Amino acid sequence: MPEVIGIGLLGVGTVGSGVVKILRDNASQIAQRVGKRVEIKRILENNESKLRSLGLTEQGTNRYEDLLEDPSIQIIVELLGGIEPARTYLLEALGRGKHVVTANKDVVATYGKELFAAADATKSDFYFEASVGGGIPVIRVLKESLAANQIQAVIGIVNGTTNYILTRMGEEGIEFDAALCAAKDAGYAEADPSADIEGFDAARKIAILASIAFNTRITPNDVFIEGITRITPRDISYAQELGYVIKLLAIAREQDEVEVRVHPALVPENHPLAAVQGVFNAIYVQGNAVGETMFYGQGAGQMATASAVVGDVMEIARNIETGSTGRFSCTCFYTKKLRPWGQFHSKYYIRLVVKDQPGALASIAGVFGNNRVSLGSVIQKRTLNMAGISMAELVLITHDVMEQDIQDALTVIKGLSIVSSVENVIRVEGGEQG
């Protein structure tokens, strides 16, 4: 058995440099904990100056074959991101019997099945802890530590950008656009922030978590997605008055059917997820034995993500050492039924502006009632004068209702002459806590 575990690194951007740093700074304890030294043998990277700054010029190459054909490389660490060429590279590596560690949520969420099949064919390991929640070890927790449980719900704050934006909006009362600018200034949002603010990033992550939690393949296309661009400081402020905070939640639940969705939601302020601030992530998991748990930490960033990558490398090194690679394979044993969007259940926060006249509320309540939507509370927030007409802003919280019913009711309500506008409709979640 080799005395050294050899790594082939695809890319030395931010996270890759972090991996290099950890393998250097913590080298002796990693060797002690794994029983072998872990060394970077080759790096696929065009940017010579990056390699030079890390003192790794010799390891650099722009031919992937140099990694594939190097027998001293047992583990390929992929940090390129995006679908291609990552997917092809990983399939080739697994096909040759090399083990794979990746932080690439896109390729895992969409091509997980294919990648696991390739790993199985050569009894290779395929690990991806860093693809969800950065340094938070939620994937291994779901696969191993909580394996005795039937998982009932996974509810995550898995996108730091949107959590930062919502935190700033809540703390400072600023508009979404201003908070997005602040996030860009702080380096927490990209020039094109749509993957974050529209919920696509969170959808990929919850697809991965749901697949593991419920042992059935969920891809991003199975996820209902709604972003945070319509959230206003007024909604956040009203939510606060009612004892809630607004978070972008990634939710996966199994109850008869599986449902997976990403959307902003009012979360009770005493729920563990409510305290997750700024760019931090947290994943709340409810199991039929363990009850409520939550796992909290930095969901992104160089060193936190690299911590998860190197943790996976060390686990594979132990598998190599003990001859037990392939011990964790695909866990999507079943093909479970997905709940259609219209049959989701939730409470709703609804903010609307109506003419301030007798009977207005009765009309609205009547439409909700006709559509099986029962109201928990109705609060008149303020009166407005719009072009000489006196208007009232109402905030309603419904009881638990079916998505299709609320949408049907809202369609009718928008057509009522007494209704000026439906300002916002936001789900209320986290009631499990009781």
Judged by CB under 8 A, which of 149, 229, 407, 424 binds its own copies? Answer: 149
Which residues have a Cβ under 8 Å from the Cβ of 254 and sit 6 or more positions away?
A: 150, 151, 152, 153, 213, 214, 336
> Is the distance from CB of 261 to CB of 251 less than 8 angstroms?
yes
Judged by CB under 8 A, which of 53, 324, 343, 390 binds its own copies? Answer: 324
> Is the distance from CB of 181 to CB of 296 less than 8 angstroms?
no
Q: Residue 123 or residue 372: which is nearer to its own copies going by CB? A: 123
| Active-site position among 36, 50, 98, 205 | 205
Q: How many residues line the site for its own copies (CB under 8 A)?
A: 63
Judged by CB under 8 A, which of 144, 177, 241, 257 binds its own copies? Answer: 144
Q: Rounded to an integer, what distance in angstroms lies between the CA atom of residue 411 and that of residue 370?
A: 13
Cα-flanking dihedrals φ and ψ of residue 335, to 5°?
-120, 100
Judged by CB under 8 A, which of 158, 189, 207, 306 binds its own copies? Answer: 306
Q: Rounded to an integer, what distance in angstroms lies between the CA atom of residue 75 and that of residue 100?
A: 6
Judged by CB under 8 A, which of 101, 209, 228, 294 binds its own copies? Answer: 294
Judged by CB under 8 A, which of 327, 337, 399, 414 binds its own copies? Answer: 327
Return the range that interacts with its own copies (CB under 8 A); candidates 48-56, 199-207, 326-334, 375-383.
326-334
Judged by CB under 8 A, which of 49, 58, 333, 385 binds its own copies? Answer: 333
CA distances for 60 relative to 55, 99, 112, 338, angstroms: 10, 20, 28, 46
Q: Residue 97 or residue 340: which is nearer to its own copies going by CB? A: 97
Judged by CB under 8 A, which of 25, 84, 190, 400 binds its own copies? Answer: 25
Q: Rounded to an integer, what distance in angstroms lies between the CA atom of residue 306 and that of residue 57?
A: 21
In this structure, what token pair is assigned to residue 252? 């996966």
Q: Answer yes or no whether residue 53 interacts with its own copies by CB under 8 A.
A: no
Q: What would the x/- binding string for its own copies be over residues 199 to 228, using CB under 8 A?
A: ----------------x-------------
Q: Answer yes or no whether residue 395 interacts with its own copies by CB under 8 A.
A: no
Q: Answer yes or no whether residue 297 interacts with its own copies by CB under 8 A.
A: yes
Q: Answer yes or no whether residue 32 interacts with its own copies by CB under 8 A.
A: yes
Q: Answer yes or no whether residue 308 interacts with its own copies by CB under 8 A.
A: yes
Q: Which of residues 105-134 bind its own copies (CB under 8 A)?
A: 129
Q: Answer yes or no whether residue 310 interacts with its own copies by CB under 8 A.
A: yes
Return the range that interacts with its own copies (CB under 8 A); candidates 45-53, 153-161, 240-248, 290-298.
290-298
184 noted as active-site residue: no
- What amino acid positions are annotated as catalytic residues? 205
| Binding interface with its own copies (CB under 8 A) | 18, 22, 25-26, 29-30, 32-34, 129, 135-137, 140-141, 144-150, 215, 270, 272, 275, 277, 280, 287-298, 301, 303-304, 306-311, 313-315, 318-319, 321-324, 326-328, 331, 333
